[in-house]
A and B are shown apart, each in its own frame.
Chain A
Amino acid sequence: AQSVTQLGSHVSVSEGALVLLRCNYSSSVPPYLFWYVQYPNQGLQLLLKYTSAATLVKGINGFEAEFKKSETSFHLTKPSAHMSDAAEYFCAVSGRVQGGSEKLVFGKGTKLTVNP
């Protein structure tokens, strides 16, 4: 079984500051890990995903995340926050099965606020 814990339901940063959103996972099989962003009343947009290739994953909009197996973590970072980054962020995990992947399990989400 898989589960995700996102530390901090709200994170507030100043524009230009470092963004760090924390995600720890639990998985009984080698995991796939994802970060999604959601703007109000919209679906989810994939920021990046880890599928067992490089442990440092670069995504869209300047975001990146590092898979650390020893820490069971997949934290999301961005060097310099922009006002447009204000949104809800979800970390998700799925287990690898032959031929594909299982259902996604989501964390509770972290709302990012960017202050001018």
Chain B
Amino acid sequence: GAVVSQHPSWVICKSGTSVKIECRSLDFQATTMFWYRQFPKQSLMLMATSNEGSKATYEQGVEKDKFLINHASLTLSTLTVTSAHPEDSSFYICSVTKQGSYGYTFGSGTRLTVV
């Protein structure tokens, strides 16, 4: 199966700074990547869907200017949390799939703590 690397696993940042999270598909070309947010003891909430070379499609209620998503290549997508605030503290998970595939592979997640 596909292998997805998400980095960093955890990060602590100061309020007002920006944090970048990387999601890499190591062994296949991911035409589509998804970014999820998960609050403690809750399910995954889809934030956005990104296709290589095009702008991400954000879910309703997700601030596109705050959560910048770049999908520059078929193997890399990044999520940048800009001007982070404590309420942005959460667990962020990426997922990848490719056209013609009927499966999704998830990264190991990033625990973001904003202090």
Contacts and interface: CB of A to CB of B under 8 A. Distances in A.
A103 B106 contact: no
Contacts, number: 60
Contacts of B34: 103-104
B109 A100 contact: no
Contacts of B49: 103
A43 interface: yes
Contact of A90 (B44, B91, B107): B44
Given A107-B43, A108-B43, A41 B100 contact: no
Sorting the interface of chain B by its residue count into under 10, 10 to 19, 20 to 34 or 35 or more gives 20 to 34
Interface residues of A, number: 24
A35 interface: no
Contacts of B6: 43
Interface of B: 1, 4, 6, 31-32, 34, 42-44, 46, 49, 91, 93, 95, 97-109, 111
Interface of A: 32, 34, 36, 41-46, 49, 51, 90, 94, 96, 99-101, 103-109
Which 9 pairs between the two chains have the least Cβ-Cβ distance? A43-B106, A44-B106, A43-B108, A43-B109, A51-B102, A108-B43, A106-B43, A100-B99, A106-B44
